[in-house]
Structures are given as structure tokens and as C-alpha cells.
């Protein structure tokens, strides 16, 4: 077992996390109660992946890897933790999709699928930057979190206005606000992953120039 | 630098995280805009702690510690990540406290301070279980997350009903729902920390009996 296998495991985990988010969104849009239920299974699989990644990481650390690989392994564990949380958010979205599928539809113009697409693309870029040891790509990703934050605020404000005009839709509006916030969290996790990549690889660069790692800051 | 120093650093970080949450809550209750602003500083200090913990952890790992200490170090890094997120939640609470301090007060019976007390107590127990290598205490903590989830649901439902009767209070109600959810997240992070402690120390126990760590599951 080596670093390559650990990376492959993380990629499989990321694909599963992406699938869970997509399933949850599809359940929401198609008002599909059963599909929403399935997301729980995907989430459980993601949890298992995290345990596997951790065990692989510990095995690698026990063998006292080179300092550069060591940092890679600890970042892998943190990325796994972020992916696990993304799975949790997918579960939360699915739970709200289930609740909404049992209520009358609400007609409001908000682009949750567009927001999801943005967040999932960030996840992909963050993962790639880790696998390719590319802190520049990771650093470029970080400001994009603001775009998702802005979308979340826009959607939440729009829904708040809608709720004021339609008090009977307040509970459904709250479900949609929760879903929007979950998507925003997914983008947060992707951003955290990118920050870990920057921190890991740029801290190494600093160390190579003879400066102390202790002076590096987290982007 | 040794494991004891790493534990001390984590304890200091936890105290800072607890302080940030308490400050944010106090800013909310006392409608104190300036105090809410200060929470940002506390959060920045927590971020610095995380970098320090990570650097200490990497230094310890480079020295190829014993397998048991190695697991302790990786758990310390994960706990630091959870504490950092707790600091983020404190910042979010403070942001909403600031927004609310600029609006007329809303008179609604919800026990956010009680919920905060519960969540902060969970944080303390989780930290202690790590420092004392006490997976039994950590395991006992995990079901208490349900209590905080229940409180969050209760508060959210109560606020939703209030908003239906007072559509003019919807924006303020949403701020309070967000704060309730942040407290629920803080309890989630404490639970994650407890799960790490169980996983770390019970996996070790299993390994000591000659079973593979790979078969252990995350509680």
C-alpha cells in the first residue's frame, strides 16, 4: 500500500460524495421521495470510505514516510473529513427534499441547481489540485467561495421576501433555505480542502528555502 | 516539543473557542454590537491556533513516534479542525447578533442560552475524553447530540410558527434560526471530536488484542 493507493481511495470517495449531492438535488427537483431515501445509503458508504482512508493513512505514517509525503498523508486525512461532511450535507438536502415531496410544490424562482453545479465544480478542482500537487490551482479556487456565499444570500433573501408575501409557505421556504445553506457548506468544504492543499505544499516550499514552517500562515 | 505540549495547545485552543461562543451569545442577549465585532478577533486567534497545532503535529510525526502516539497526533489535528469550525460558528452567531442589534427586539420564548450551555458542555467533555484517553466518556457523549438536535428542531418550529403569525418578523426569525443551527453545529463538532477519540483509542485496543484495525468501525 502506498500514497498512490491513498490518492485513488480519496478520488473514489470524492466521486461518491459528488454522486450523493447530485442524487439529493435530483430528488429535490423530481420530488422523488424514494431517491431521497437512497442518499442515506450513499452517505453511509462515504462514512466507510473515511474510515478506510484513515486506516490507510495511519499505516503509511507508521512506516515513517519522508517529510513531504507525511504532509501529503495528513492532508489526505483532512480532505477525507471534508468529504465526509459533504456526504452529511447531501443527507440533509435529501431529508428536506423528502419533506418537500410530501407538500404542495412551491413556485419560486431560485437557482439551486446552478448553485449546486458551482459547488460541485469547486469540489472537483480542489481534489484535482491535491492529486496534482498544484497549490496554484488550489489558491485560485479560494475566492470562488465568495460567489457561492453571494448566491446563498441572494436565494435566502428572495425566499424571505416570498415568505413574507406567502406566510402559508414559510415551512417550505425554510426547507429551501436549509438546502441553499447546505450547498454553501459544500462549497466551504471544497474551500477548506483547497486551503489544506495550499498550506501543505506552500509550507513545504517555504521549508525548502530554509524558512521555518511555523511562520507560514493558512492562506 | 512533545505530546504534552500538543495537548496543552489544544486545551488553550478549546478555551478560546468556548470564549468565542460565549462572547457571541452575550452579544446576542445584550444586543451589544461592539462585543459581536470582537468575536472576529477571537476567531482569528483560533485560526492561528489551528496552524500551530498542525505544525506541532507535523514536527511530532516527522520524528516517527510510537504507533499509539501517532494515532494521538492525528486525532489532535482533527480535533483542531473541529475547534476551528466552532470558531467559525461563533463568528456566524456574532454576525447575526450584530444584525439583530440593529433591529427592534423580537419577543419570542426560545432558550438559546440553554442550548448553548449544553453544546459547550459537550465540547468540554469531548476535550477531556481526549486528554484523559477516555473512550468510555467519549462514547457516552455521542447520544447527547440528539438532545441538541431536538432542541434545534423545537426552536426552529417555534420560530416558524411565530413567523407565520408575524410576517414582519420573518428576517429576524431567520437570524435566530441560523443561530440555533450554529449551536447545533457546535454540538455536532463536539460529537465528531468524541467519535475521533472512540475511534482512536478503541481501534488501538482492538489492535492490542491482535485484531486488525481495518475491521473497526467508526462507532
Confidence at residue A211, expressed as pLDDT on a 0 to 100 scale: 42
The mean pLDDT of chain B is 90
Q: What distances in angstroms separate CA B5 from CA A42, B18, B33, B47, B64, one per listed residue?
A: 39, 20, 36, 18, 17
What chain A residue is nearest to B79 in terms of C-alpha separation?
Answer: A78
Which residues of chain B does A177 touch, with a Cβ-Cβ cutoff of 8 Å?
174
pLDDT of residue A21: 96
Residue of A48, A160, A218 lying closest to B170 (CB–CB): A160
Euclidean distance between CA atoms A4 and A21, whole angstroms: 26
Q: Which residues of A touch B168 (CB under 8 A)?
A: 164
Question: Which residues lie below 8 Å from residue A119, measured CB to CB, with a gap of 6+?
Answer: A21, A148, A183, A184, A186, A187, A190
Burial class (CB in 10 A: 0-12, 13-18, 19+), B69: middle
CB contact under 8 A, B77 and A77: yes
Please give the Cα distance from A106 to A176 (Å, whole number).
Answer: 10
Q: Grid coordinates representing B186? A: 457546535
Closest approach of chain A CAs to the CA of B34, in angstroms? 24
The answer to whether the CB of B106 falls within 8 A of the CB of B176 is: yes
* A-chain residues near B78 (CB < 8 A): 77-78, 81
pLDDT value, residue A71: 87
Please list every residue in chain A whose beta carbon sits closer than 8 Å to the beta carbon of residue B71.
Answer: 58
Residues 6+ apart with CB under 8 A from A121: none
Average pLDDT over residues B107-123: 94
More confident of the two residues B8 and A67:
B8
Q: Which residues are CB-neighbours of B26 under 8 A, at least 6 positions away?
A: B32, B35
Contact in structure between B61 and B98 (CB atoms under 8 Å): no
The more confidently predicted of residues B11 and B66 is B11
Chosen from B55, B103, B201 to mutate, greatest number of chain A CBs within 10 A? B55
Pick A70's closest partner by Cβ from B48, B62, B170: B62
Residue of A50, A53, A57, A62 for testing the chain B interface, max B β-carbons within 10 Å: A62
- The residues, any chain, with a CB within 8 Å of residue B154's CB and separated by 6 or more, are none
Q: Which residues of B134-168 are buried (b: 16+ CB within 10 A; e: fewer)?
A: bbebbbebbebbeebeebbeebbebbbebbbeeee
Looking at residue B204, its pLDDT comes to: 56
- State the pLDDT at residue B201: 83
Q: Which 8-state DSSP code applies to residue A30?
A: T
d(CA B19, CA B24): 9
Contact A172, A106 (CB under 8 A): yes
Instruction: Give the containing element (helix H, strand E) for A94.
Output: helix A67-101
User: CA-CA distances (angstroms) from residue A147 to A104, A115, A187, B88, B175?
Assistant: 31, 9, 10, 18, 21
**What's residue B214's pLDDT?**
40
Mean pLDDT over residues B100-107, rounded? 95
Q: Is A5 exposed, middle or buried (CB count within 10 Å of its CB: 0-12, 13-18, 19+)?
A: exposed
**Which of B43-57, B59-73, B114-128, B196-210 bottoms out in mean pLDDT, i.e. has the lowest?**
B196-210
Interval B58-68 mean pLDDT: 86
Q: 3-state DSSP: chain B helix, strand, coil percent, rounded to 5?
A: 85, 0, 15
Averaged pLDDT, B184-203:
91
DSSP A147: H
- Judging contacts by C-beta atoms under 8 Å, the chain A residues touching residue B163 are 163, 167, 170
Averages of pLDDT over each 10 residues, chain A, 219 residues: 90 95 96 95 94 92 85 92 96 97 94 95 95 94 96 96 96 97 97 90 54 41
Closest CA to B44 of B101, B87, B98: B87
The confidence band for B67, taking pLDDT boundaries of 50, 70 and 90, is confident
Residue A204 has a pLDDT of: 56
**Cα(B178)–Cα(A171) distance, integer angstroms:** 15
Which SS3 state, helix, strand or coil, does residue B33 take?
Answer: helix
Residue B205 has pLDDT above 70, yes or no: no
Q: What pLDDT, on the 0 to 100 scale, is given for residue A191? A: 96
Residue ranges of domains in chain B, CATH in brackets: 3-215 (1.20.58.220)
State the Cα–Cα distance between residues B163 and B172, nearest whole angstrom. Answer: 9
ipTM comes to 0.84
State whether the Cα torsion B8-B139-A54-A196 is positive or negative.
Answer: negative
Beta strands in chain A (DSSP E): none
Amino acid at each position: 500500500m502506498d500514497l498512490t493507493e491513498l490518492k485513488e481511495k480519496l478520488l473514489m470517495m470524492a466521486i461518491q460524495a459528488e454522486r450523493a449531492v447530485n442524487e439529493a438535488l435530483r430528488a429535490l427537483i423530481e420530488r422523488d421521495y424514494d431517491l431521497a431515501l437512497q442518499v442515506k445509503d450513499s452517505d453511509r458508504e462515504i462514512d466507510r470510505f473515511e474510515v478506510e482512508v484513515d486506516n490507510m493513512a495511519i499505516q503509511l505514517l507508521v512506516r515513517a514516510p519522508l517529510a513531504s509525503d507525511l504532509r501529503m498523508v495528513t492532508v489526505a486525512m483532512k480532505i477525507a473529513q471534508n468529504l465526509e461532511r459533504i456526504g452529511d450535507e447531501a443527507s440533509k438536502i435529501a431529508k428536506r427534499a423528502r419533506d418537500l415531496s410530501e407538500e404542495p410544490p412551491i413556485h419560486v424562482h431560485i437557482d439551486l441547481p446552478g448553485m449546486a453545479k458551482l459547488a460541485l465544480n469547486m469540489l472537483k478542482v480542489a481534489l484535482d489540485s491535491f492529486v496534482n500537487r498544484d497549490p496554484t490551482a488550489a489558491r485560485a479556487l479560494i475566492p470562488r467561495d465568495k460567489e457561492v456565499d453571494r448566491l446563498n444570500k441572494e436565494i435566502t433573501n428572495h425566499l424571505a421576501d416570498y415568505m413574507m408575501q406567502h406566510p402559508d409557505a414559510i415551512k417550505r421556504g425554510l426547507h429551501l433555505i436549509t438546502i441553499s445553506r447546505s450547498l454553501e457548506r459544500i462549497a466551504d468544504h471544497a474551500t477548506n480542502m483547497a486551503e489544506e492543499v495550499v498550506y501543505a505544499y506552500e509550507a513545504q516550499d517555504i521549508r525548502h528555502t530554509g524558512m521555518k514552517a511555523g511562520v507560514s500562515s493558512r492562506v
